[in-house]
């Protein structure tokens, strides 16, 4: 962060030098102004493209530097007579991508002044001392045209976006900053984190100290497994804990209990004396502008427990810093309520539901979605709420598709703005969903990515950097809660089943199919795989809605279970497709099972939303007793059903032998 600040300051200085050179018309003496103008423009475009590809939020220094380069290009190519009419609108359109009101307004004024002053100084004769009033007035009119172009460009962009002007936004933030006081340390959030950390870290004791007006740190809240605790313990500047923190620059400090003892006490001094305390200590400090406002102390009975909890403690520091930065207003982001809700959650299903509910409540007209990372590089949407989320639950996408997949693969939050239609999850997402802007934040636990939170809006430029910070904080709370054993166990189960139908996912199906190979080798057993597609499923979604489509999928799975029995292995492998594995059956028996499925749906319509819907399916199958061909059966069955997809009620089963070659 310090390095970024230094780089930004350097770019500010370089930008100022370039602007001054333009204003002083020092570039007029260049022998090839067209070439240098082209190089300046090329550098500016390269920076913009690079930032777009990295999905970075430009710093003001980079924006000023890019603006200075474009200003040089315009100056070298003839000022108002050059390509300023289209260069400046492009500049402001790019800068609007991140809604940086203050730099936009400032740059518009600076460029306007440069384009006004430079032609006057260059052509009016002021430099040579031969001032001519008529020449001055002529140049003045051209300079006015050149100087007004940046301001008109900015106004046009604001008008086209239909948003309030950058000046109002910038002045509004200034007024808020003027009335805002220094945010107080969010000790309420810190207290609400203690139960989560207690269940997550394996610490025997967690102690929160908060600084008061006397510059004394008082024990504010704690949990401890055993032994009494001195409830009124206070730490002053000479306390060993404060000295350790002052000597360290890290947010999390690891030490031994004997280094914090006072007056020959055993271990942590606030424990009431008795048996020896747990020797391994972690201290989490919370500083703002170099002032230590609070800290947590955790004690462990082993170095391994302390090491495994480090990432959780770092997440806690981030959450507290965000709560602190935003002032923790009760009507703002609800961090305290979020922490308490997550602490009360006992499974991932409940935690996800509360996470999404909190976001859509705090950010109306947005869609919040949580997708879980499954095996085989897939993202499965677990729950989605909002205008864009209807019917999404249960869908799977490749982990590299869309903005959500990009956030997971990069393992960093991403904010996409002003990009037209955004593919949030992948190419198979509904193309009619026009997402104007979105944020995607990986959900992590102990260094591993377990899923992704995506928040979308149909409006462009909807999310600010502060919004992204809020979503990151929400994701941190969820990750802290998910680190608990109960949530971890439910997460493992969640990764193995489909959200809508409750059937195993494709990865689990392949694992079970692999297990059957042993039976084929030992008992000469035959294995059959059926691929079942629902005919015309997309029309059901279009006519009745995605909720009705989910009900059709769920009831279809239930019907197939009842027909095939408990020994069959079922899985969902596509939006409207299922796989069935049967062991110990030949081709004739497999065809009989396919006929039963057809009969079940043809004679018993489904009741959905008060309407009776007759479901018709296409079935492709493959049967083999050759062990090396077993894993190919799903591929062959799917290929077979694709060939008859236009013939509902029809089925075809292929016998796969030792030398089978797919057609």
pLDDT at 78: 61
In the block, residue with structure tokens 């007029």 = 28
Q: Which of 162, 179, 196 is the last residue of a domain?
A: 179
pLDDT at 118: 60
Would 625 be classed as within a structural domain? yes
pLDDT at 376: 60
pLDDT at 86: 44
pLDDT at 169: 40
Mean pLDDT of 442-462: 83
Nearest-angstrom CA–CA distance, 408 and 378 = 11
pLDDT at 402: 85
29 with 165, same domain: the answer is yes
Would 211 be classed as within a structural domain? yes
551 with 521, same domain: the answer is yes
The residues pairing with 219 across neighbouring beta strands, listed in sequence order, are: 209
**Strands (E) located in 552-646:** 569-574, 577-583, 606-608, 611-613, 617-624
pLDDT at 23: 61
Would 465 be classed as within a structural domain? yes
pLDDT at 102: 44
Q: Residue 528 pLDDT > 80, yes or no?
A: yes
353 with 321, same domain: the answer is no
Mean pLDDT of 243-263: 86
Residue 497: count of CB within 10 angstroms of its CB: 17
CA distances from 36 to 69, 120, 292 (A): 10, 22, 52
Would 501 be classed as within a structural domain? no
Residue 144 pLDDT class (50, 70, 90 cuts): low
Mean pLDDT of 208-223: 87
Q: Which of 440, 464, 495 is the last residue of a domain?
A: 495
Higher-confidence residue of 250 and 452: namely 452
pLDDT at 82: 42
Q: Using a pLDDT cut of 70, give the percent of the chain over it.
A: 68
Q: Residue 45 pLDDT > 70, yes or no?
A: no
485 with 528, same domain: the answer is no
Q: Residue 40 pLDDT > 80, yes or no?
A: no
Question: For 463-520, what is each residue's pLDDT tens digit?
Answer: 888 788 888 888 888 887 777 665 666 666 666 677 778 787 776 787 778 777 766 7
pLDDT at 430: 58
379 with 405, same domain: the answer is yes
Nearest-angstrom CA–CA distance, 653 and 594 = 9
441 with 556, same domain: the answer is no
Nearest-angstrom CA–CA distance, 153 and 449 = 43
Number of domains composing the chain: 4
pLDDT at 206: 92
Beta-strand relationship, 234-235 and 437-445: unpaired
Nearest-angstrom CA–CA distance, 70 and 75 = 9
Alpha helices, H only, 77-100:
84-96
Nearest-angstrom CA–CA distance, 211 and 309 = 25
pLDDT at 361: 84
Is the separation of the CB atoms in 477 and 338 below 8 Å?
A: yes
* Residue 397: CATH number of its domain: 3.30.450.40
Q: Which of 136, 156, 179 is the last residue of a domain?
A: 179
pLDDT at 174: 45
364 with 315, same domain: the answer is no
Question: For 377-387, what is each residue's pLDDT tens digit?
Answer: 788 888 888 88
574 with 476, same domain: the answer is no
What global pTM score does this model have? Answer: 0.53
* Residue 595: CATH number of its domain: 3.30.70.270
Q: Classify 591 as helix, strand or coil.
A: helix
Higher-confidence residue of 185 and 6: namely 185
172-186, 192-206, 246-260: range with lowest mean pLDDT? 172-186
Would 453 be classed as within a structural domain? yes
Higher-confidence residue of 71 and 213: namely 213
Nearest-angstrom CA–CA distance, 618 and 532 = 6
pLDDT at 29: 65
Q: Using a pLDDT cut of 90, give the percent of the chain over it.
A: 9
53-54-56-58 Cα dihedral, nearest 10 degrees:
-60
Question: For 295-354, what is each residue's pLDDT tens digit?
Answer: 999 999 888 888 888 878 888 888 788 777 766 454 445 667 777 777 777 777 788 888
Distant-in-sequence, close-in-space partners of 150: CB < 8 Å, separation ≥ 6:
88, 92, 107, 108, 111, 112, 115
194 with 115, same domain: the answer is no
pLDDT at 295: 93
Would 164 be classed as within a structural domain? yes
Enter the tokens of residue 432.
């009619």
pLDDT at 416: 83
Q: Classify 380 as helix, strand or coil.
A: strand
pLDDT at 150: 55
pLDDT at 421: 66
Nearest-angstrom CA–CA distance, 205 and 225 = 6
Question: For 600-648, what is each residue's pLDDT tens digit?
Answer: 988 888 888 778 888 899 999 999 888 778 888 988 999 899 888 888 8
Would 661 be classed as within a structural domain? no
CA distances from 96 to 49, 91, 102, 161, 590 (A): 15, 9, 11, 9, 61
| Domain of 143, in residue numbers | 2-179
pLDDT at 296: 92
142 with 225, same domain: the answer is no
Residue 210 pLDDT class (50, 70, 90 cuts): very high
pLDDT at 369: 92
Mean pLDDT of 243-269: 83
Q: Residue 16 pLDDT > 70, yes or no?
A: yes
pLDDT at 420: 56
Q: Residue 453 pLDDT > 90, yes or no?
A: yes
| Average pLDDT taken over every residue of the chain | 75
432 with 528, same domain: the answer is no
Is 425 exposed, middle or buried, given 0-12, 13-18 or 19+ CB atoms closer than 10 A?
buried
Mean pLDDT of 68-92: 57
Is the separation of the CB atoms in 513 and 578 below 8 Å?
A: no
478 with 517, same domain: the answer is no
Residue 179 pLDDT class (50, 70, 90 cuts): very low
pLDDT at 331: 43
Higher-confidence residue of 117 and 640: namely 640
Would 642 be classed as within a structural domain? yes
Q: Residue 56 pLDDT > 60, yes or no?
A: no
């Amino acid at each position: 962060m310090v390095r970024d600040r230094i780089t930004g300051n350097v770019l500010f200085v370089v930008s100022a030098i370039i602007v001054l050179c333009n204003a002083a018309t020092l570039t007029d003496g260049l022998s090839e102004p067209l070439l240098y103008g082209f190089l300046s423009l090329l550098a500016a475009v390269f920076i913009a493209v690079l930032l777009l590809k990295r999905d970075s939020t430009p710093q003001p220094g980079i924006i000023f530097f890019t603006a200075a380069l474009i200003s040089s290009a315009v100056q070298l190519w003839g000022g108002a007579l050059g390509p300023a009419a289209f260069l400046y609108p492009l500049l402001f359109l790019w800068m609007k991508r991140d809604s940086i009101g203050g730099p936009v307004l400032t740059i518009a004024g600076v460029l306007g002044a440069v384009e006004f002053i430079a032609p006057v100084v260059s052509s009016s004769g002021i430099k040579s001392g031969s001032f001519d009033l008529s020449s001055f007035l002529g140049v003045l009119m051209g300079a006015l045209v050149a100087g007004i172009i940046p301001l008109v460009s900015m106004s046009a962009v604001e008008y086209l976006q239909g948003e309030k002007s950058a000046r109002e936004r910038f002045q509004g933030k200034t007024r808020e900053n003027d009335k805002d006081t220094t945010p107080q340390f969010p000790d309420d959030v810190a207290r609400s984190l203690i139960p989560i950390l207690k269940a997550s870290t394996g610490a025997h004791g967690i102690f929160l100290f908060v600084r008061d007006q006397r510059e004394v740190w008082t024990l504010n809240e704690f949990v401890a497994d055993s032994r009494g605790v001195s409830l009124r313990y206070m730490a002053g500047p000479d306390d060993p804990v404060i000295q350790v923190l002052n000597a360290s620059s890290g947010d999390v400090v690891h030490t031994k209990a004997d280094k914090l003892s006072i007056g020959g006490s055993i271990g942590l001094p606030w424990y009431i004396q008795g048996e020896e305390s747990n020797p391994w200590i972690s201290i989490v400090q919370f500083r703002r502008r170099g002032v230590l406002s609070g800290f947590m102390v955790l004690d462990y009975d082993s170095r391994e427990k302390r090491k495994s909890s480090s990432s959780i403690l770092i997440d806690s520091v981030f959450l507290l810093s965000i709560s602190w930065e935003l002032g923790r207003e009760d009507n703002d982001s609800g961090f305290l309520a979020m922490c308490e809700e997550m602490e009360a959650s006992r499974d991932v299903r409940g935690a996800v539901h509360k996470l999404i509910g909190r976001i859509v409540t705090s950010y109306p007209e947005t869609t919040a979605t949580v997708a879980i990372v499954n095996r085989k590089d897939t993202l499965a949407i677990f729950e989605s709420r909002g205008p864009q989320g209807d019917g999404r639950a249960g869908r799977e996408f490749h982990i590299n598709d869309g903005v959500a997949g990009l956030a997971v693969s990069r393992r960093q939050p991403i904010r996409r703005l002003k990009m037209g239609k955004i593919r949030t999850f992948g190419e198979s997402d509904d193309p009619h969903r026009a997402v104007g802007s979105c944020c995607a934040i990986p959900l992590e636990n102990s260094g591993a990515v377990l899923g992704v939170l995506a928040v979308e809006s149909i409006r462009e430029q909807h999310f600010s950097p502060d919004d992204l910070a809020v979503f990151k904080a929400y994701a941190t709370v969820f990750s802290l809660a998910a680190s608990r054993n109960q949530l971890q166990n439910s997460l493992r189960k969640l990764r193995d089943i489909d959200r809508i139908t409750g059937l195993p996912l494709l990865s689990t199906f392949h694992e079970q199919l692999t297990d059957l190979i042993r039976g084929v080798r030992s008992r000469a057993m035959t294995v059959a795989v059926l691929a079942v597609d629902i005919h015309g499923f997309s029309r059901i979604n279009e006519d009745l809605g995605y909720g009705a489509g989910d009900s059709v999928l769920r009831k279809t799975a239930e019907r197939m279970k009842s027909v095939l029995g408990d020994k069959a292995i079922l899985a969902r492998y596509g939006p409207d497709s299922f796989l069935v594995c049967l062991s110990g059956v030949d081709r004739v028996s497999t065809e009989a099972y396919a006929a039963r499925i057809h009969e079940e749906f043809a004679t018993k319509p489904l009741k959905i939303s008060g309407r009776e819907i007759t479901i018709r399916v296409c079935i492709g199958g493959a049967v083999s007793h050759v062990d090396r061909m077993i894993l190919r059966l799903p591929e062959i069955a799917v290929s077979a059903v694709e060939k008859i997809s236009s013939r509902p009620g029809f089925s075809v089963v292929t016998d796969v032998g030792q030398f089978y070659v797919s057609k």
